[in-house]
Amino acid sequence: MNLYKAWNSDIHSEHDIIVMYAENEQVVKDGIANIRSKDDCFTEWLFEDACLDEIIEDLEGNNRVFSSIQDGKQAFANEVYRAIHLKEWTIQEIKDVPENHFVCAVYPADYTGVQENVELIFVPNDCKNTYEFTIDEMALRESKGYIFREHIDDAAINMSFHERFFIIDGEYAYCLFDCYRPANFILEKFNYDVRASHKFIEERRVANIFHFFIEKPEYAELYLDYVDNYTKYEEDIPFDDKFYKYVAKKLIQEGDWNKYTVKEIREGE
């Protein structure tokens, strides 16, 4: 058996990227047609919205499609999908599949319409916790990305990783249109004493940082020194790979970076 990844030219959801074991590409095509011809959107289009005359015209001469009508609606839907939509799919054989492993296809909740968004992770057959293994590997991969590291390295108090530490009682601590003016709900706590409000925000920010890094207080101290003395670091960012992975895993677990659907694919299933 070989492992294949197939994707539609127009990707909108996880249904447009399929990972499967198969003997050859033809079996993959059969699998795609069997899966997608049962999709509610496709069957609704075919049996309710589509103009039958146009379909007949498009498929003129395709005897296989029309002879399938006698086998029922699903058989007809399958053949129509093959004839019209199967050409939209790209099929890639995955090489260097390790032995004694099964594969997990990791689908992110937020698509950008490219097949690279779906990661393949090979999990040892004796793994006790597939989801934990997969999230750990995804954290490692995410932590190496330029966009992720740029987000973590940004010391700004808004639109950054740092921003999360200014969330107090579920609200951002500063006004949306004046990022240095305490929000009204905080000013009200201190009878509109701005200095007292700033002091309170700073105490909560530091507490939030240490809470996030609760298992690694040394990371909390490092991060706090970095954001408070950002200019002294310039391009010499003090974080190592382990730091970025720790942050990535925490954010993934909390659903603040990306959420994933993990699908196990095993040979013979």
pLDDT at 239: 96
HEC states along 31-95? Answer: HHHHHHCCCHHHHHHHHHHCCHHHHHHHCCCCHHHHHHHHHCHHHHHHHHHHHHCHHHEEEEEEC
Closest CA to 155 of 234, 100, 82: 234
- Give which of 181, 178, 179 is closest to 198, Cα–Cα: 181
Cα–Cα distance, 182 to 186 (Å, whole number): 6
**Measured between alpha carbons, how far is 170 from 188 in angstroms, rounded to an integer?**
16
Cα distance between residue 68 and residue 215, in whole Å = 62
Question: 3-class secondary structure for the chain?
Answer: CEEEEEEECCCCCHHHEEEEEECCHHHHHHHHHHHHCCCHHHHHHHHHHCCHHHHHHHCCCCHHHHHHHHHCHHHHHHHHHHHHCHHHEEEEEECCCCCCEEEEEEEECCCCCCHHHCEEEEEECCCCCHHHHHHHHHHHHHHCCHHHHHHHHCCCCCCCHHHHHHEECCEECEECCEEEEECHHHHHHHCCCHHHHHHHHHHHHHHHHHHHCCCCHHHHHHHHHHHHCHHHHCCCCCCCHHHHHHHHHHHHHHCCCCCEEEEEECCCC
pLDDT tens for each residue of the chain, 269 residues long: 899 999 998 877 778 899 999 999 999 999 999 999 998 888 888 888 767 667 777 777 777 777 787 788 899 889 889 988 899 999 999 999 999 999 999 988 775 555 677 899 999 999 999 989 999 999 999 999 999 999 999 999 988 999 999 999 999 999 978 878 999 999 999 999 999 999 999 999 999 999 999 999 999 999 999 999 988 887 789 999 999 999 999 999 998 888 888 899 988 77
What local confidence, expressed as pLDDT, does residue 255 receive?
Answer: 86
CA 145, 172, 232 angle in degrees (round to 5)? 55
Residue 267, pLDDT score: 85
Q: Which two tokens stand for residue 81?
A: 């999908």
Please state, in angstroms and rounded to a whole number, the distance separating the CA atoms of residues 51 and 32.
24
b/e string for 3-30 if b means 16 or more Cβ within 10 A? bbbbbbeebeebebbbbbbbeeeeebbe
Asked if residue 243 lies in contact with residue 219, where contact means CB atoms within 8 angstroms, the answer is: yes
Q: What is the pTM of this model?
A: 0.81
Q: In what order do the strands lie in the sheet with 17-22?
A: 17-22, 2-8, 89-94
